[in-house]
Structure 1
Amino acid sequence: MRLSVVKHRDQETLGEFMQKNVDGKSRYFSDEWAATKKPARRHFAYYDTVCHKKWFRDRQTDVHTNTIETTWRVVKAFVPRRRFGKDTLQQSLDECEWRRKFDHNVWEAFWEAARRFTFRVIRRTPEVDAVVHEENLWKEAAREVVAEEKKQLREQERKATEEAKLFNEWKFAAEFVVNEEEELEKERDEKRKRAEDLHSDARRYSRGTVPEPAPLPPLSPPPPPQVKSTIESSAMTTITQVPEQLRETYREREKMRLADIRAEVIWEVPEQLLNLIKQPKISPATLQTPPPAILSPLPPPTLSTPWSHLPPMQEPPSKVVL
């Protein structure tokens, strides 16, 4: 709906209003007012009238003929008498049109109208905008320079980050290598110092300036179990005589093993010692008379070797690694 104030109510004014506000391809319907026939037929492709005396609604187009008269009665009732003047009538019509359009939500429409009233509309002119001014050229050049500087700055930051990352990796690797070399050098120094100490001790032992330390005693066999049989004091021989008789044997065998294989010394338990360990336990009351000799005397040396006076090596039933 469009409401407008006109000077004269005639065919010429109505024709100008139709041409200005209504599309020429529209289908125009009006009442049987004679003043609308000529301009309507001249401006519109299709024109027809509706008779109020016969019907109120067109069956084909569903046009209600009573809408125009009802709208006009509402407009005349809205416009106050004090604003019915020539200068204020258009404002009243615009307000009536606005309220009719936003009848469902007047409050939001009011704030939207206030926003549009305070907004300065920018009218674009393509001809003027197409002309390149000198200040626009300077601004464009400045933007390009700033963009290039930002690009170079980002590239420098990226390179600095990569260099810092590589430097940290190199620093970590260098510290690892230096620490490893220091540890290896420390181990070599300790080994060299031990070798020098051993060499100096050996030289002093050979010269007799320093007494040679006594050799460590061999590991003694475990104590024999206490037997409950009536065997006479064989445990005394096991405790007192067996280690003394085997001490020199163990010492000579240890020297031979160290001289030949230069490795771990595997102590072999003789079969006679194992037999003594397996003997039953006896009570202290039976240890009154000296027991007979359990171990046979050593055989005389038959070879000219330094260890020929030792007893022959026997294959022990078991080995104990110490």
Structure 2
Amino acid sequence: MRYFHDLVIETLNNDDLMIGGDGIVVEIDESKFCKGKDTDGIWVVGGVERTEKRKCFFVVVDRRDAETIRSIVSKHIKPGSIVATDCWRGYQNLEDFDIIHEKINRSISFVNMNGTHTNTIEGTWQGLKIRIQPRHRGTESIEKYLLEFIWRRKHENDLWQGLLDALRTIKYK
């Protein structure tokens, strides 16, 4: 599996990890990945487009503060996007990045009056946690599993062809 991860991860490019664009809704959230019943865990900030492709990104973080979130938004979300988040303070002042920032207070409702929600990213977290077994949620391997998820989503209509294309990119030394 290590070789498979290395192979497919090498085929991802910056465009695969940059999501959104003019009028595209991008949901952002953070989630904790733990090994078993362990209270310690790894925090991941992620985003997913509300499009047919459901392009996504995931970043393992040490801190979930506003500075970290702003850095992630500038690196992974295209200008012109409509970004939906919950009301957590780390998501303040995202409008500085030429995006529209819509918020949902999940303690009141899961969808607000104008249709803002973060249900797509919440479902994505659930799918990731089903796919990534607890024993693989350590700092040494989780990033590869997150990138594999992005690769699988990119090639979900034809995983076999995606793998063949990845094999064509191998360069022998």
Which TM-score band applies after superposition, normalised by the shorter structure?
A: 0.5 to 0.7
Aligned to 1:100: 153
Aligned to 2:144: 91
Residue of 69, 79, 95 corresponding to 1:41: 95
Partners in 1 of 2:170 and 2:123 — Cα distance? 32
Aligned to 1:76: 129
For 1:14-47, what per-residue CA distance to the aligned partner results, in whole angstroms no more than 9, with x for missing partners? 1111111112332222122221013x13323421
More strand by share: 2
- 8 Å Cα contact 1:28-1:46 kept in structure 2: yes
- 8 Å Cα contact 2:87-2:103 kept in structure 1: yes
The equivalences for 1:235-274 within 5 A come to: none
For 1:235-285, what per-residue CA distance to the aligned partner results, in whole angstroms no more than 9, with x for missing partners? xxxxxxxxxxxxxxxxxxxxxxxxxxxxxxxxxxxxxxxxxxxxxxxxxxx
CA drift of 1:68 comes to 1.2
Partners in 2 of 1:45 and 1:33 — Cα distance? 18
- 8 Å Cα contact 2:81-2:100 kept in structure 1: yes
TM-score by length of 1: 0.33
SS in structure 2 opposite 1:47? strand
* Structure 1 stretches of at least 4 aligned residues deviating more than 6 Å after TM superposition: none
Alignment pair present for 1:20 and 2:112: no
Alignment pair present for 1:56 and 2:92: no
Change (3 A) 1:57 1:78: farther
- In structure 1, give the amino acid aligned to 2:58: L
Percent identity over the alignment is: 26
- 8 Å Cα contact 1:26-1:45 kept in structure 2: yes
Count how many residue pairs are aligned between Structure 1 and Structure 2: 117
- In structure 2, give the amino acid aligned to 1:56: V
CA drift of 1:65 comes to 2.5
- 8 Å Cα contact 1:29-1:48 kept in structure 2: yes
- In structure 2, give the amino acid aligned to 1:21: H
The equivalences for 1:89-128 within 5 A come to: 89-118=142-171
Structure 1 unaligned segments of length 5 or more: list them: 121-322
Which is bigger in relative contact order (C-alpha 8 A, separation at least 6)?
Answer: 2
Partners in 1 of 2:100 and 2:133 — Cα distance? 37
CA drift of 1:58 comes to 6.5
TM-score by length of 2: 0.58
Aligned to 1:11: 66
Q: What is the Cα-based RMSD across aligned positions, in Å? A: 2.4
The equivalences for 1:157-196 within 5 A come to: none
SS in structure 2 opposite 1:2? strand
Larger radius of gyration: 1
